[in-house]
Amino acid sequence: MPTQGLTKALATRLDELAGAGRLKGKETVIRGFIPARGGDGPRYLIAGEGDWPFLRMNANNYLGMSLRLEVVAAEEEAAANYGAGPGAVRFIGGTWTPHIALEQRLAAFHRRPAAMLFSSAYAAIMGVIPPLVTDRTALISDELNHNCIINAIALARPAEKRIYKHVDMGELERCLEAAGKSCARAIIVTDGVFSMRGDHAPLDRIMGLARAYDGAFAENAIVVVDDSHGVGALGASGRGAEEYTQSPAVDVLVATLGKALGVNGGYVVADEIVIRYLRETSPLYVFSNPITPGEAAAAHRALDILDSPAGLALLAHLRAMTARFKAGLVKLGFETLPGEHPVVPLLTRDAARTLSLTAHLWRRGVLVTGLTFPVVPKEEDEIRFQISADHTPADIDAALEALAEVAPNH
- 129-152 residue pLDDT tens: 999 999 999 999 999 999 999 999
Q: Is 110 a catalytic residue?
A: no
Integer-rounded Cα Rg, in Å, for the chain is 22
Q: What is the mean pLDDT of residues 79-86?
A: 94
pLDDT at 374 over 90: no
pTM beyond cutoff 0.85: yes
> CA-to-CA distance for 398 and 367, rounded, in angstroms?
12
The string of pLDDT tens digits covering residues 23-57 is 777 889 999 999 999 999 999 999 999 999 999 99
- Residue ranges covered by each domain of the chain: 11-57+311-405, 69-307
SS3 per-residue string spanning 92-116: HHCCCHHHHHHHHHHHHHCCCCEEE
Give me the percent of the chain exceeding a pLDDT of 70.
100
pLDDT at 233 over 90: yes
69-307: which CATH architecture? 3-Layer(aba) Sandwich (3.40)
Report the phi/psi class of residue 266: left, alpha or beta, with left for phi > 0 and alpha for psi in -120 to 50. Answer: beta
Structural contact between residues 109 and 121, judged by C-beta atoms closer than 8 angstroms? no
What CATH code is assigned to 11-57+311-405? 3.90.1150.10
- 284 DSSP assignment: H
Active-site choice (66, 119, 120, 195): 195
The residue with greater pLDDT, 342 or 21, is 342
pLDDT at 100 over 70: yes
Helix (H, G, I), strand (E, B) or coil at 186: strand
Active-site choice (110, 146, 200, 259): 259
Beta strands in 43-155, from DSSP E residues, in sequence order: 43-46, 53-56, 114-118, 137-142
> CA-to-CA distance for 105 and 99, rounded, in angstroms?
10
Active-site choice (200, 229, 317, 341): 229
Q: Is 229 a catalytic residue?
A: yes
The string of pLDDT tens digits covering residues 285-310 is 999 999 999 999 999 999 999 999 99
pLDDT at 378 over 90: no
Q: Helix crossing, 293-306 with 69-82: angle to 10°?
A: 150
Give me the percent of the chain exceeding a pLDDT of 90.
88
- 264 DSSP assignment: -
> CA-to-CA distance for 182 and 136, rounded, in angstroms?
8
Q: What is the mean pLDDT of residues 245-259?
A: 98
Q: How confident is the model at residue 1 (pLDDT cuts 50, 70, 90)?
A: low
- Using alpha carbons, select from 269, 283, 302 the residue that is nearest to residue 192: 269
